[in-house]
Amino acid sequence: MKRLPQVAGYFYPKDKEELIRYLNRFIEKKEKVIKAKGCISPHAGYIYSGSTAGKVYSCIDISNKVILLGPNHHGIGYPFAIYSKGSWITPLGESKIEEELSKKILKNSKYLKEDLSAHTLEHSLEVQLPFLQYLNPKVEIVPITISEYSWNVLEDLANGIKNSIDEEVLIIASSDFSHYEPQEVAKEKDFYAIEAILNIDPKEFYERVKAKRISICGVGPIVVLLLVLNYLGIKNAKLIDYKTSGDITQEYSAVVGYAGIVFF
């Protein structure tokens, strides 16, 4: 099964050469990069959050195997859904699904299921892929969407991933932060959540988001990532970039927050 791009021409350019020009602008070629185990990257239209995503991907080594964790904005399909066979296509080309790793994660998680419909319209993982392809054309992916955030389920998914991966796997949580809050309110809430993320404390992050009603769309993916990092003993986190849509549009009354964070 080949998944065709759904948001090319909307979230990012559908013309290959124009897309490459965008990526050239967002990505800095660096001699030294971090051998990261995970990262958080935003998924808005590239004109809004592409520079933040570019800063994240510029500073890390893109493994040949990448697990993509994202929210399911449309609520279509099973709430914990993996796309375990075939490939995904963008204007830059075709990336295969890492089928062996997908099978392992499916086997090791009792809640995760194969459901292509959950991925059909979802943009949160698709918008990450051109960055990965640009930096590593050999990348193979494991796409997983999450739309229900019960703690026991998130723990199960994290355990399933932890028991399936090797040292070469990069895990990406795709998420935007506060939605449609005034600029200063969004920043205050987001940095309250980011503090827990930088401490790699999934339970504290989860509780802070609930307590302050922070409208982070990728809460589940971030929790799963943080849990896996805990299991693996990862201790280092760095905030690479933070901005809001207001920084782009100069409209500050109702912004969306974008954070880029790397774990190593």
Per-residue model confidence as pLDDT tens digits over 72-115: 999 999 999 999 999 999 999 999 999 999 999 999 999 999 99
Structure confidence at residue 31 (pLDDT): 79
Task: State the Cα–Cα distance between residues 144 and 48, nearest whole angstrom.
Answer: 24
pLDDT of the residue at 76:
95
Sign of the torsion angle spanned by Cα atoms 229, 226, 156, 122: negative
Task: State the CATH number of the domain containing residue 251.
Answer: 3.40.830.10
Strands 2-3 and 80-82, by their bridges, are unpaired
pLDDT band at 167 (very low <50, low <70, confident <90, very high): confident
User: Do the Cβ atoms of 135 and 21 come closer than 8 Å?
Assistant: no
Q: What is the pLDDT of residues 183-218, one digit of tens each?
A: 999 999 999 999 999 999 999 999 999 999 999 999
Question: Which amino acid makes up residue 201?
Answer: D
Between CA 64 and CA 98 the distance in angstroms is 9
Q: In whole angstroms, what is the distance from residue 92 CA to residue 100 CA? A: 24
Record the pTM. Answer: 0.97
Task: Read off the pLDDT of each residue in 58-83 and give the average, rounded to a whole number.
Answer: 97
Mean residue pLDDT of the chain comes to 97
What confidence score (pLDDT) does residue 29 get? Answer: 85
Give the pLDDT of residue 32: 85
Q: What does the pLDDT average to over 32-61?
A: 97
> Residue 34's Cα: distance from chain center in Å?
17
Using the predicted structure, report yes or no on whether residue 149 has a pLDDT greater than 90.
yes
Mean pLDDT to the nearest integer, 123-141: 98
Per DSSP, helices labelled H in the chain are 16-26, 46-58, 99-108, 117-120, 129-135, 151-162, 183-198, 202-212, 219-232, 245-249
Q: Which domain holds residue 160?
A: 2-263
Q: What pLDDT does residue 61 have? A: 96
Instruction: Tell me the two tokens of residue 37.
Output: 């185990």
Q: Tell me: the pLDDT tens digits for 221-242?
A: 999 999 999 999 999 999 999 9
Count structural domains, the chain.
1
Q: What is the pLDDT of residue 41?
A: 98
